């Protein structure tokens, strides 16, 4: 009899499930929120309000997607052979539940849908998610109470960020104190989905907990000073913290009766999508980093010993192995690329064709691509800045956005201080070889791309496999698991063109000057841009 492991990924735009046996992926399915749950009226899985800084989504939509997904799985494999389940959630998003929640969850009737039975259990109907940047004031307040930038980073592993859960919770408390008072428990997307499967409140793991500005990054406990700086009585409203590899219980009776899951199916703590991706691309050791080109673009790496970015742009989260990981995150990732694609009526094929035929360095055309508010560097009012071209130049814009994204990534990841030999790429846009070529040239590093772009779901499946084998005392180590799974995937490598090394080193300095000019009152970059054009294009 085969035994299976299920990894779920509740991301911004979809819920993905990957099922593995002990050596390979055997089934994958996806529920796309916009397409398959149109009643929630989301665009790219979210609801952007009139104020573009306010971005929410629907916890009941994620739950409904879970039921649809389990239906598909049940029709494709022997679901009772699933031994363990873990999952991944888009990070930072918060779910607010009232005092009816726990009892309603325990009493779920498999003859009805979950959403019908949980409708009255939310003290806030929608969830602010990672794309929300409406908490500038709360970030300032919390940072000040904690003793300033450096102290905040030393305590929580990151500066206060608009999308982080603590500032979001503070905003809810300030704007709706009654709603806050009626909140019995606040979950992250990851712990909320784990809770649904478990039938009782699940803990938050150290990976996702570190994205809240509430967990002490050294002790991995809730930090009382951070909690007090955020909102009153918060400790009573948070689930406990746990290691990512812990078993949190067994699947609840609802899923056994309704979908035929085995009563012994173990549930492993859920984590954030980035910590899961760390495993899903096999970053279990020093010296390697990954870029994830999903809805957000992220750059992250495994970290053995705690090393903080005291300038405040990067983050340190817990890694699923029990160590740490570094991360920087961009909001202008896939959705910004899609805006350009749509603006000029292109498909990905034509978009790629333009990347292939335009020259590295883009004849000195430089874009600062803040189509949406940006996280790194912090830009709250969206605006696209163009140097040396305008919006009518289709080819210029296509090349400029891709070069800008990776120049910015190279510039702002310098604090990680890890000169990678190879970069792993994952996420939807990593399927695009021409985008990866620009990235390889800018980083001057080979980029390896795997057949499975869903590294978060795969990482979750592998985490459940690892904990299961530890549990039955047939421990497999991470090297063995990662080797087995990543070797079975076709993976291709994009090699940097060495001829572009000097050009992109120069362009990086030029890009920095443009950023300094617009965001920090720096000197006019025009003379440097002219020199760059003379050196490479005249
Ligand atoms: P998330 O997990 O954050 O929901 P995904 O990793 O599934 O997102 O990535 C989805 C994104 O991938 C889409 O928004 C789309 O823009 C992008 N994408 C898919 N195919 C391509 C392609 N060939 N070239 C560039 N981008 C692509
Ligand atoms: C990471 C971040 C995003 C979300 C959504 O800090 O905000 O990557 O996890 O993918």
pLDDT in tens, the chain (538 residues): 799 999 999 999 999 999 999 999 999 999 999 999 999 999 999 998 778 899 999 999 999 999 999 999 999 999 999 999 999 999 999 999 999 999 999 999 999 999 999 999 999 999 999 999 999 999 999 999 999 999 999 999 999 999 999 999 999 999 999 999 999 999 999 999 999 999 999 999 999 999 999 999 999 999 999 999 999 999 999 999 999 999 999 999 999 999 999 999 999 999 999 999 999 999 998 778 999 999 999 999 999 999 999 999 999 999 999 999 999 999 999 999 999 999 999 999 999 999 999 999 999 999 999 999 999 999 999 999 999 999 999 999 999 999 999 999 999 999 887 778 899 999 999 999 999 999 999 999 999 998 888 999 999 999 999 999 999 999 899 999 999 998 777 789 999 999 999 999 999 999 999 999 999 999 999 999 999 999 999 9
From 297, 429, 459, give the residue whose CB has the most ligand 1 atoms within 8 Å, as the site to mutate.
Answer: 429
Buried b vs exposed e over 379-390: b needs ≥16 C-beta within 10 Å?
beebebbbbbbe
Owner of token pair 């499930």: 17
157 Cβ closer than 6 Å to some ligand 2 atom: no
Strand order in the sheet with 447-450: 315-318, 324-330, 297-303, 289-293, 423-426, 447-450, 491-494
Contact (CB, 8 A) for 218 and 306: yes
* CA 367–ligand 1 middle distance (angstroms): 21
Q: Which atom of ligand 2 is nearest to the CA of 315?
A: 6
Contact (CB, 8 A) for 73 and 81: no
273 Cβ closer than 6 Å to some ligand 2 atom: yes
Q: Which atom of ligand 1 is nearest to the CA of 45?
A: 4
Please state, in angstroms and rounded to a whole number, the distance separating the CA atoms of residues 292 and 274. 8
* CA 373–ligand 2 middle distance (angstroms): 14
Cβ contacts of 308 within 8 Å, gap of 6 or more: 153, 154, 157, 217, 316
What does residue 148 show for φ and ψ, rounded to 5 degrees?
105, 180
12 Cβ closer than 6 Å to some ligand 2 atom: yes
Whole-structure pTM value: 0.95
From 316, 329, 374, 413, give the residue whose CB has the most ligand 2 atoms within 8 Å, as the site to mutate.
Answer: 329
Please state, in angstroms and rounded to a whole number, the distance separating the CA atoms of residues 344 and 482. 41
* CA 220–ligand 1 middle distance (angstroms): 33
* CA 375–ligand 2 middle distance (angstroms): 11
331 Cβ closer than 6 Å to some ligand 2 atom: no
Please state, in angstroms and rounded to a whole number, the distance separating the CA atoms of residues 343 and 529. 26
From 18, 280, 342, 428, give the residue whose CB has the most ligand 1 atoms within 8 Å, as the site to mutate.
Answer: 428
Closest to 8 measured CA to CA, from 187, 260, 185, 196: 196
Closest to 24 measured CA to CA, from 527, 356, 517, 481: 481
* CA 260–ligand 2 middle distance (angstroms): 33
Buried b vs exposed e over 195-231: b needs ≥16 C-beta within 10 Å?
bbbbbebbbbbbbbbbbbbbbbbeebebbeebbebbb
317 Cβ closer than 6 Å to some ligand 2 atom: no
Nearest ligand for residue 274 CA: 2
Nearest ligand for residue 402 CA: 1
What pLDDT shows up at residue 49? 78
What pLDDT shows up at residue 285? 84
Our CA dihedral for 155, 170, 294, 421, rounded to 10 degrees, sits at -10
For ligand 1, which residues put their CB under 6 angstroms from it? Answer: 11-14, 294-295, 334, 337-338, 348, 427-429, 431-432, 435
- If you take atom 14 of ligand 1, which residue's CA is the nearest one? 334
* CA 292–ligand 1 middle distance (angstroms): 10
What pLDDT shows up at residue 1? 76
Q: Which domains does the chain have, with CATH numbers?
A: 1-281+288-360+413-500 (3.30.420.40), 361-412+501-537 (no CATH)
From 130, 188, 328, 378, give the residue whose CB has the most ligand 2 atoms within 8 Å, as the site to mutate.
Answer: 130
* CA 429–ligand 1 middle distance (angstroms): 5
Please state, in angstroms and rounded to a whole number, the distance separating the CA atoms of residues 37 and 106. 26
Please state, in angstroms and rounded to a whole number, the distance separating the CA atoms of residues 1 and 502. 57
From 275, 298, 453, 459, give the residue whose CB has the most ligand 2 atoms within 8 Å, as the site to mutate.
Answer: 298
Residue ranges in 87-219 assigned as alpha helix (H): 101-106, 114-118, 136-145, 149-156, 165-175, 177-181, 189-198, 206-209
CB-neighbour burial class of residue 1 (10 A; exposed 0-12, middle 13-18, buried 19+): exposed
**3-class state of residue 439 by DSSP:** helix
Q: Which atom of ligand 1 is nearest to the CA of 292?
A: 6
Contact (CB, 8 A) for 356 and 363: no
What pLDDT shows up at residue 71? 98
Strand-strand pairing, 94-97 and 185-188: antiparallel
Both tokens of residue 442?
A: 């800018």
* CA 536–ligand 1 middle distance (angstroms): 33
DSSP 419: -
């Amino acid at each position: 009899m085969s035994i299976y492991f299920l990894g779920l990924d509740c991301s911004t735009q979809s819920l993905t499930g990957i099922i593995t046996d002990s050596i390979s992926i055997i089934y994958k399915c996806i529920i796309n929120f916009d397409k398959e749950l149109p009643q929630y009226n989301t665009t790219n899985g979210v609801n952007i309000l009139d104020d573009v800084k306010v971005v929410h989504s629907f916890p009941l939509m994620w739950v409904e997607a879970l039921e649809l997904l389990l239906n598909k799985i049940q029709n494709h494999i022997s679901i009772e052979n699933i031994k363990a389940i873990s999952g991944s959630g888009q990070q930072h998003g918060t779910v607010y539940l009232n005092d009816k929640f726990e009892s309603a969850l325990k009493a779920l009737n498999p003859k009805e849908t979950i959403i019908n039975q949980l409708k009255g259990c939310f003290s806030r109907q929608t969830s602010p998610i990672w794309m929300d940047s409406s908490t500038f004031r709360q970030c300032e307040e919390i940072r000040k109470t904690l003793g300033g930038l450096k102290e905040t980073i030393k305590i929580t592993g990151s500066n206060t960020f608009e999308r982080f859960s603590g500032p979001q919770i503070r905003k809810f408390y300030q704007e709706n104190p009654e709603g806050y008072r009626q909140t019995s428990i606040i979950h992250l997307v990851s712990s909320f989905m784990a809770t649904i499967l478990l039938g009782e409140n699940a803990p938050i793991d150290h990976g996702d907990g570190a994205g809240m500005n509430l967990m002490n990054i050294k002790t991995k406990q809730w930090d009382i000073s951070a909690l007090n700086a955020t909102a009153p009585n918060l400790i009573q409203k948070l689930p406990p913290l746990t290691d990512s590899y812990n078993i949190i219980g067994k699947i609840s009776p609802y899923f056994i009766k309704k979908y035929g899951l085995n009563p012994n199916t173990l549930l492993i703590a859920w984590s954030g999508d980035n910590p899961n991706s760390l495993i899903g691309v096999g970053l279990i050791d020093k010296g390697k980093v990954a870029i994830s080109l999903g809805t957000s673009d992220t750059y992250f790496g495994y970290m053995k010993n705690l090393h903080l970015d005291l300038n405040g742009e990067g983050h340190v989260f817990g890694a699923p192995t029990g160590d740490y990981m570094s991360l920087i995150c961009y909001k202008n990732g896939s959705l910004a690329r899609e805006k350009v694609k749509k603006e000029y009526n292109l498909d990905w094929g034509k978009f790629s064709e333009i990347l292939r035929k335009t020259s590295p360095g883009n004849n000195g055309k430089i874009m600062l691509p803040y189509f949406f508010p940006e996280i790194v560097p912090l830009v709250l009012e969206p605006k696209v800045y163009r140097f040396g071209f305008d919006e009518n130049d289709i080819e210029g814009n296509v090349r400029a956005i891709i070069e800008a994204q990776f120049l910015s990534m190279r510039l702002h990841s310098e604090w990680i201080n890890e000169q990678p030999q190879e970069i792993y790429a994952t996420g939807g846009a990593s399927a695009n070889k021409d985008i990866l070529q620009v990235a390889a040239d800018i980083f001057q590093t080979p980029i390896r791309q795997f057949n499975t772009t869903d590294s978060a779901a795969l990482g979750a499946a592998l985490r459940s496999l690892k904990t299961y084998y530890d549990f039955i005392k047939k421990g497999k180590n991470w090297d063995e698991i990662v080797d087995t799974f990543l070797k079975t995937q076709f993976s291709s490598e994009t090699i940097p063109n060495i001829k572009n090394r000097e050009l992109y080193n120069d362009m990086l300095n030029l890009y920095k000057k443009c950023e300094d000019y617009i965001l920090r009152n720096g000197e006019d970059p025009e003379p440097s841009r002219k020199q760059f054009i003379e050196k490479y294009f005249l």
